Chain A
Amino acid sequence: MKTTQPRDKPNVIPETFPPPQISIWRHQHILDLDSFTKEEIDLVFEITDAMMEVLGREIKKVPTLRGTTVATVFYEPSTRTRASFELAAKNLSTDVVNLDIPKSSVTKGESFLDTLRTLQALGVDVIVLRHSQSGAPYLAAQHLDISIINGGDGWHAHPTQALLDLYTLRRHFGDLTGLKVVIIGDILHSRVARSNIWGMSIMGCKVVLCAPPTLLPRELDNFIIRCHLSGISKEYKLEAALQEADVIMPLRLQFERQQSRLLPSLREYIQLYQLNSKRLSLAKPNALVLHPGPINEDVEISPEVAHSAQSVIEEQVTNGVAVRMALLYLITRGKR
C-alpha cells in the first residue's frame, strides 16, 4: 500500500519552496500563539499557501514527511480536529497512530506522562494532543524530547484553530491590520477565543469580546494589561459590538453553562447574543462569519447566517487541513 504511489511529483511543491524566511522558525512545539511573532505567523501562511496548492491537486498526497510518525492523542472527544490532523499528516505521507483515551482515565494513577513516554519510545516523532486539562501540552513538552502540537487544552489554547482562522481572514482580506473582529459568547471557557486573542492581537486586529459578564473572565482587563495585548476590548451589548465589524465569530455555547447558572436561560441568551440576519446587517456589508464548530444552529447562530454567502465556516475546515500540514512540515523539517 505504501510504495504504489505515483512518482510523477516527487518533491512537494513549487521550486521556490521552502521560502528563505523559513530560517526564522524556532519552534519545536506548537503550544500557543503567545510565543509567536507576526513574522512567524506570516511564515505559517506562506507554507500554508503551498499546502493549499497540494490540496488542489488531483492526488492530494506528497512524500515530504515520509518516515515520520504522528500520533494523535485525544483525551477529549473530537471529530473534526482529529480528522483534520489525521488527513494533514497523511497528505504529507506520515504514518499516523490514533489514540482515544476515555475520559474516565483522566485521574490520578493512570499517568498521562507514562502514556506519552511510551509513544515516544515507540518512535513517534510528533504528538498531537487534545486534553481537557489546561496546560497538559506544556507538561508533555517539558518532559518529552519529541514535538508536541496542542490540539486544544482545557480553557487555555487551541493554536491551530486560531491559525486557521487567521489564515482564512488573510485569504479574504490580505492584510489583517486594523480588521475589526467580534468574538461572541463563552469567552471564559473558550480556548479558541484565548488563542485568537493572542493571534489577532499579534496580527494587528481590533478584537471585541462580546458576552454577558458571567461568560467573560473577571480579570480580563488586568490580563490585557499584564500581557501587553493591544486592540482587545469588551462589550456586553452585541448590537454595539457589531458596528463596523469586518469579522464575526460566534462561539459554541455549551449547554452546561446554563446548568451551572451562568445564564438565566437559553432563551434569553438567544435573544441577546444569537447572530441572526438582522444583527449581521449591523456589521460591514461584506463582513465574514466564522465559527470554530461544531455549530449549535438556532442557539449562537441562526441557520440562515450559518449558511449565508458571508459564512466561511466550511472554508475554515478546508484551510484547517492546509494549516496543519504547514505546521507539521515546519516542526519536523529540522529532522529531515
Chain B
Amino acid sequence: MSEGILIKGGRILDPGQGLDRIGDLLITDGKITRFGDKGAIPPEGFHALDANGLIVCPGFIDLHCHLREPGFEEKETIATGTRAATRGGFTTICCMSNTNPPLDNRAAVDYVKAKAETQGTVRVLPIGCITKGRKGEELTEMAELAEAGVIAFSDDGEPVVNSAIMCHALDYASALGLMVIDHCEDRALTNGGLMNEGWVATRLGLKGIPAAAEEIMVARDLALARLTKARLHIAHITTEGSVDLIHRAKEKGILVTAEVTPHHLTLTEDRVMGWHWGKNNITYDTNAKVNPPLRTSKDIDALIRGVKLGIIDAIATDHAPHTLTDKMCEFGIAAFGISGLETAFGCLMSLVPDGKLDLVTLISKLTAEPAKIIGTKYRELGTLKISAPADITLFDPTKEWIVDSHNFASKGKNTPFDGYRFKGKIMATIFGGKIVYKDDSVKLEIKQ
C-alpha cells in the first residue's frame, strides 16, 4: 500500500457533503482516513503536501470521453488518455463505446479494463454499446456487458434511429439497473451538416445543423423514458430547446439526467471563423468543428441557467482526440471533436469570475453529481468522506496559465483553446492515494 499523505492547509470543498472549510486531510492505504482543522493532524510519519492557497476537492468524474483504444491508437490510447485525465483533475473517466471493435461484447470490455488496470493512471469505467456494431439493429448482450462492468449503454455518435429498438434498450437496461445514454441527433435533418445552422454557416457556405436536429431526438427519448420508466441520460446537450424539454420532463418526474460540455458552455459558432475573426481574417478552424456543433450565445445562456437550476446534472468533456491529419484538412472532411480533458477545468473556471456560475455548483457538476448518475455501484466516488477512495483534485483558483497543446499528455492536440489564457489551474491529482499529477510549484515533503 502507498505511504500516507497529509494534505495540509487547503480549502476543502466537497459539495456532496456541503463541506467548505480550511483544513487538513489525511490519506492512508488509498483511502481518506482523517479530516481535521489546519494543523490538527500530527504530520509525523506522512508525506506532506502543501495545499496553502489551494482548493482540495473530490477527484473529478468525466461521464463522457473517448479513449480510442482499441482500434484508433494513433488518436489516443488508454495510457495517454488517462494521463491527460490526471492533468485535467479527473480521477474517474467513463469511456465511450465507439472503439474498433466497439464495446459491444464482453471481450472488448475486458480488454479495456485490463489495459486500464495495467497502463491507466485513473479509474476507467467503460460504457457498452446499445446495439451490436452500433448499427441500431440488434441489442447487445446487455446483461453480460453489465456483468463485465459497463456503467451504462450508449451507441455514442450513432443515435438509435429506430424508436422500437430504443424502447427495448431502455426496458432491458432498466432491469439491469443501468442507464441508457443517447447522442441526440436526427440524422435526416443533420444530413451532412458541418456546424450550427446560423449566420456563420451562411457566411462560410457550410451546411448547417439546426437545433431541431438535437431537440427532436431529445423529445423522442424523453417520451420513451416516460413510457418505460427507465433511466435515460442525454449526452452533451447544446440548445435552449433541449434545456426546456429536459426541464419539463424532470418536472413530470421522468428519470432523466443530462450533461453539457465545457466547450458548449463557453464557445459559440463564431469560433469556427478563427480565434480573433474580423472582417479580413476569417479562417475555417477545424479545431472548432465538433458534433453537436458550437451554438449561439442565447443557447449558452440557457445551458448555464440549466446547470444552475439543476436541469443539467453534470459537466462532461466529450474528450474526442484526433490526429493532426484528421484536422489539418478541408473543413468538410475534417473529423468532428475536441480534445477536452486538459482544458475542461480552466475553461469552466472562466465562467466563475464573470458571475455566470459559482464555484461550488461548478465543482459539484464535476464530482458529486456525476457520481450520483453513475449510480450505487460506485457510491463512494465524488466525495471526500472518511473511508472513501482517496481520489482528490487540488487546484489553484487564481493561477493563470496559457493553453499550449504541445504540452498535452493526450495525443489529440485538437483544441480550440490553444493560446487561451485561463485563470484556475489543476495543481495536483491524487488517485487511490497516489499522486498521479503534480504541478512543479506544489511543495511535497517526502517522509524521511
Chain A contacts to B: CB under 8 angstroms = 34-35, 106-108, 111-113, 131, 133-136, 138-139, 142, 153-157, 191, 194, 217-220, 222-223, 225-227
Contact = CB atoms under 8 A, between A and B. Distances in A.
A278 to B, nearest CB: 32
A138 B279 contact: no
A223 B202 contact: yes
Interface of B: 197-199, 201-208, 210, 279-280, 282-284, 325-326, 328-333
A217 B205 CA distance: 10
Given A111-B329, A112-B329, A142-B283, A135 B204 contact: yes
Q: Is the interface of B mostly helix, strand, loop or mixed?
A: loop
A61 to B, nearest CB: 34
Contact of A222 (B202, B204, B329): B202
A108 B333 contact: yes
A225 B203 CA distance: 11
A85 B122 CA distance: 58
7 contacts: A111-B325, A112-B329, A134-B332, A217-B202, A219-B198, A222-B199, A223-B203
A138 B284 contact: yes
A154 B282 contact: no
Given A133-B330, A133-B331, A134-B332, A34 B202 contact: no
Given A113-B328, A219-B208, A227 B199 contact: yes
Contacts of A138: 282-284
Contacts of B326: 108
A87 to B, nearest CB: 27
B199 A219 contact: yes
A220 B203 CA distance: 9
A134 B204 contact: yes
B202 A135 contact: no
A139 B330 contact: yes
Contacts of B282: 34, 138
A284 B264 CA distance: 50
Contacts of B207: 155
Nearest to B333: A108
Contacts of A108: 325-326, 329, 333
Nearest to A134: B205
B288 to A, nearest CB: 12
Nearest to B198: A219
A28 to B, nearest CB: 12
Nearest to A36: B280
Given A35-B279, A134-B284, A219 B333 contact: no
A157 B206 CA distance: 11
Nearest to A225: B199
A155 B203 CA distance: 10
B180 to A, nearest CB: 32
Contacts of B198: 219, 222
Contacts of B329: 108, 111-113, 139
Nearest to B331: A135
A221 to B, nearest CB: 9
A21 B146 CA distance: 74
Contact of B330 (A136, A157, A194, A220): A136
Q: Which 10 A-B pairs have the closest CB atoms?
A: A156-B205, A135-B284, A155-B205, A133-B330, A134-B205, A223-B202, A133-B332, A223-B199, A222-B199, A35-B280
A219 B195 CA distance: 13
Which one of B198, B282, B328, B329 has the greatest number of beta carbons of chain A within 10 Å? B329
Contacts of B202: 217, 219-220, 222-223
A218 B331 contact: no
Contact of A135 (B197, B199, B206): B206
Contacts of B201: 217, 219
Contacts of A134: 204-206, 284, 331-332
Which one of B199, B330, B333 has the greatest number of beta carbons of chain A within 10 Å? B330
A138 B203 CA distance: 14
A139 B325 CA distance: 13
Nearest to B330: A133
A34 B203 CA distance: 10
Contact of A226 (B197, B199, B280, B328): B199
Contacts of A106: 330, 333
Given A111-B325, A133-B332, A218-B208, 12 more contacts: A108-B329, A111-B329, A113-B329, A134-B204, A134-B284, A135-B284, A138-B282, A156-B205, A194-B205, A218-B197, A219-B199, A226-B203
A194 B283 CA distance: 16
Nearest to B205: A156
A227 B205 contact: no
B284 A139 contact: yes
A154 B206 CA distance: 8
Contacts of B204: 134-135, 156
B329 to A, nearest CB: 6
A112 B203 contact: no
A131 B330 contact: yes
